[in-house]
C-alpha cells in the first residue's frame, strides 16, 4: 500500500468495507483522486428498513384475521409521518405470506425496533423483523403520496 500522503491509492479487496462510502470518497479526494461523478450532492438521508420475516409455520390463513388491524396500525404510523414506504414481498428470496419491507423515519435503531414491534403480526407471534439502517443517496420524489388513503401533497 502506498505511504500515507503519497497521492497514490491502492485498491485492496474488502478495504472499502472499513469505511462508509462517503468517508471513502473523502479519503480519495484527499489524495487527489478525481471522481467521475459528483458525490457532494448525494442525499445522504438515513432511514430504517424493516424486513418482516414470517415464522416458519405462518400461513396466509393465520394472517387474515389480523390484516385490518395491521393496516390500521401502518396507516396510524403513516399519519404520524413515520412510514416512508411499506408493502409485502411478492417474489424473490424469503417472499411468502407475512414477509414484507417497511421503510421508517425513526430516531435510531431502537426507535425503529419499537415501532416495528407494534405490528399486530409481530405481537401475535406470526412474524419477527430485522432492522437495517439505510442511507438513501439517489432517487427522485416530487409528491408526498399516501398509498393507504389515496391523498397527496405537493412538496
The per-residue DSSP string of 46-92 comes to EEEEEEEEE-TT--HHHHGGGHHHHHHHHHHHHHTT-EEEEEE--SS
For residues 113-133, average pLDDT: 97
Domain encompassing residue 14: 1-41
The answer to the question of residue 73 being in a domain is yes
The answer to the question of residue 83 being in a domain is yes
User: Which positions ≥6 away from 1 have C-beta within 8 Å?
Assistant: 10, 12
**Look-up: residue for cell 442525499?**
43
Name the more confident of 141 and 50: 50
Write down the pLDDT at residue 146.
83
Cα 133-146-76 angle, rounded to 5 deg: 70
The average confidence (pLDDT) of the chain is 82
On whether both 69 and 123 belong to a single domain, the answer is yes
On whether both 75 and 129 belong to a single domain, the answer is yes
For residue 35, what is the DSSP state? P
State how beta strands 45-54 and 100-104 pair. Answer: antiparallel
On whether both 121 and 98 belong to a single domain, the answer is yes
As for how many domains the chain has, the answer is 2
The answer to the question of residue 127 being in a domain is yes
For residues 29-45, average pLDDT: 68
Q: Calculate the alpha carbon distances from 27 to 15, 97, 110, 113 in Å.
A: 12, 45, 31, 33
Amino acid at each position: 500500500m502506498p505511504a500515507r500522503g503519497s497521492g497514490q491509492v491502492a485498491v485492496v479487496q474488502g478495504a472499502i468495507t472499513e469505511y462508509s462510502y462517503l468517508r471513502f470518497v473523502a479519503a480519495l479526494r484527499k489524495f487527489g483522486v478525481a471522481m467521475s461523478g459528483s458525490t457532494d450532492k448525494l442525499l445522504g438521508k438515513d432511514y430504517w428498513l424493516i424486513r418482516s420475516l414470517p415464522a416458519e409455520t405462518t400461513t396466509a390463513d393465520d394472517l387474515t384475521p389480523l390484516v385490518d388491524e395491521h393496516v390500521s396500525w401502518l396507516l396510524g404510523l403513516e399519519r404520524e409521518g413515520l412510514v416512508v414506504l411499506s408493502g409485502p414481498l411478492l417474489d424473490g428470496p424469503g417472499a411468502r405470506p407475512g414477509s414484507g419491507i417497511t421503510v421508517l423515519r425513526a430516531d435510531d435503531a431502537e426507535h425503529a425496533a419499537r415501532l416495528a414491534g407494534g405490528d399486530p403480526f409481530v405481537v401475535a407471534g406470526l412474524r419477527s423483523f430485522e432492522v437495517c439502517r439505510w442511507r438513501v443517496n439517489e432517487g427522485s420524489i416530487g409528491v408526498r403520496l399516501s398509498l393507504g388513503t389515496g391523498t397527496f401533497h405537493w412538496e
